[in-house]
Structure 1
């Protein structure tokens, strides 16, 4: 890893540097043959991940990205040539807070005069479906921020993250171990439903690097990451690689909605929106020939993973 201290190198400010996306962006830029100064933002600079990046030459800055901390965010963004912006839904699960924080950071980025704002947005599934699937608030919040950023006039590149490969293992309602040691995997959609799967920690940063370095991209460009694969194919491959019997079983919408509180209706809407309209709606998955290397396929991800630790 090489991170520049040369004041003539572009300064890239990365929000959420200790997260999967921010960390991936940092590693992808550090691997480039182009020089970058990197400032990583985090609420807790003492985190081991933050300290590891600091040891590699990243300037680590502790800051809250709350909507009322305009002064702190302004200072953190000061001097940025390029800003990578991601919001953390899981921190609060509050749509209006997500939108307020995202809009505030867009405003500060514009005021700071950044040459390129790279935003990790998502499609509004309410908009894509014409209001049929209105409960997927974290998609809708990021979609609202995307539209706000486009209207703001800030030089914007949109780099959307596909369906996290790790999601398959982080959904206890879906992947369930049976008494005989086999597994069933259930979602409220047919096994043929496809999503663009990405190993985020390993590959998301490649798309951001392309948005920065490819002269055909930059401001005004939109990249949609991941490799399309159906849930049925994912489970078949997982069974083959793990050596475990794993069967895909389609849940009913009623079973999905019955999941605990907030999650049931949201997830039922989300997966059914994927089935009917696609993860990105009518927008295509990006061509991987724009990247400096090929991203991992689902099978590649499984081969590299410690499945004994991931399977419940």
Structure 2
């Protein structure tokens, strides 16, 4: 249900000789008139749905056998409840409409893995709770758990900041040795979800902690310099300075400060991050983008 992840899955299935014959795709979007929706209509059937509207969700999922779904983060005091309830609603309606299999885009349970130390990373914990709920339903399920998007280093508020002399700085508060499991979400999401679609029984109940590999922040800056041919360096700043850099977005400072602290201390996917990433990469349906 997300244009980026869902679009990757759609393109992968349409381009795969086996999956394209096995699956008839229905794309679901909140806005049928958006540019991305119009592009999607040229490829597959597209229907409108708002996950907050149960009736439209029932219509969108009517007659569907297999669902790839995700929830959209909501920043705010009630963000956890809004996202969790959206995911729960998708799961409940999927069961009611007779869906046989749900693939859910989840994230690690930060609060649980950290033993309650970090509580602000609500968009991770909300998805993790939806995953837990889905595992208790009669419908079969599997899970796609993406790492840190490579695209975010270019397009989001976390992208390098430019100095007047043209030099770029990634200015975060954690050590340059902090490891991030990087994923080219547009190019590679479909390869992980495609494995589940190709062998649903084999991967029932399994979770793909999806990434190409683990990269330290210092190396990420060096890779970006090489590719862009512009100097980019990693500069560690104080937690207070990092929060201030995100002050224009409500709640973002607390969420990302705690989130990056969690990555540094416990690993993005938890203590066995390296092993989980290796398993997912080995089971992906095709080679992932290598930096």
Q: How high is the TM-score relative to the length of structure 2?
A: 0.90
Residues 262 and 45 (structure 1 numbering): CA distance in 2 closer, same or farther, change over 3 Å?
Answer: same
1:18-65 superposed Cα distances (whole Å, 9 cap, x missing partner): x10010010111112221100111011122322222222x11101111
Question: Is the CA contact (8 Å cut-off) linking 1:194 and 1:231 kept in structure 2?
Answer: yes
**Number of positions where the alignment pairs a residue of Structure 1 with one of Structure 2:** 279
Instruction: Map residues 144-163 of structure 1 onto 2, 5 A cutoff.
Output: 144-163=129-148
Residues 217 and 196 (structure 1 numbering): CA distance in 2 closer, same or farther, change over 3 Å?
Answer: farther
Deviation at residue 216 of structure 1 after TM alignment: 6.3
Which residue does 1:61 correspond to in 2?
47
> Quick one: which of 269, 281, 284 aligns to 1:288?
281
Counterpart Cα distance in 2 of 1:98 and 1:64: 13
Deviation at residue 78 of structure 1 after TM alignment: 1.1
> Quick one: which of 134, 143, 148 aligns to 2:119?
134
Q: Identify unmatched segments of 5+ residues in structure 1.
A: 1-14, 300-312
2:106 aligned with 1:117, yes or no? Answer: no
Instruction: Map residues 235-274 of structure 1 onto 2, 5 A cutoff.
Output: 235-258=221-244, 259-260=246-247, 261-274=250-263
| Greater relative contact order, per chain length (Cα 8 Å cut-off, separation 6+) | 2
Instruction: Map residues 38-49 of structure 1 onto 2, 5 A cutoff.
Output: 38-49=25-36
> Quick one: which of 196, 207, 213 aligns to 1:211?
196
Deviation at residue 254 of structure 1 after TM alignment: 2.2
Which residue does 1:29 correspond to in 2?
13
Residues 121 and 252 (structure 1 numbering): CA distance in 2 closer, same or farther, change over 3 Å?
Answer: same
2:180 aligned with 1:195, yes or no? Answer: yes
Residues 202 and 129 (structure 1 numbering): CA distance in 2 closer, same or farther, change over 3 Å?
Answer: same
Q: Secondary structure at the match of 1:118?
A: strand
Deviation at residue 173 of structure 1 after TM alignment: 5.7
Counterpart Cα distance in 1 of 2:100 and 2:88: 18
Question: Is the CA contact (8 Å cut-off) linking 1:174 and 1:187 kept in structure 2?
Answer: no
Counterpart Cα distance in 2 of 1:45 and 1:122: 28
Deviation at residue 159 of structure 1 after TM alignment: 0.6
Counterpart Cα distance in 1 of 2:195 and 2:155: 29
1:239-266 superposed Cα distances (whole Å, 9 cap, x missing partner): 1222212121112222223341412121
> Quick one: which of 59, 84, 88 aligns to 2:68?
84
Say what the alpha-carbon RMSD is for the aligned residues: 1.9
Q: Identify unmatched segments of 5+ residues in structure 2.
A: none
Question: Is the CA contact (8 Å cut-off) linking 1:210 and 1:217 kept in structure 2?
Answer: no
Question: Is the CA contact (8 Å cut-off) linking 1:196 and 1:226 kept in structure 2?
Answer: yes
Counterpart Cα distance in 2 of 1:163 and 1:281: 14
Counterpart Cα distance in 1 of 2:58 and 2:200: 29
Question: Is the CA contact (8 Å cut-off) linking 1:165 and 1:198 kept in structure 2?
Answer: yes
Which residue does 1:51 correspond to in 2?
38
Deviation at residue 290 of structure 1 after TM alignment: 2.0
Q: Secondary structure at the match of 2:164?
A: coil
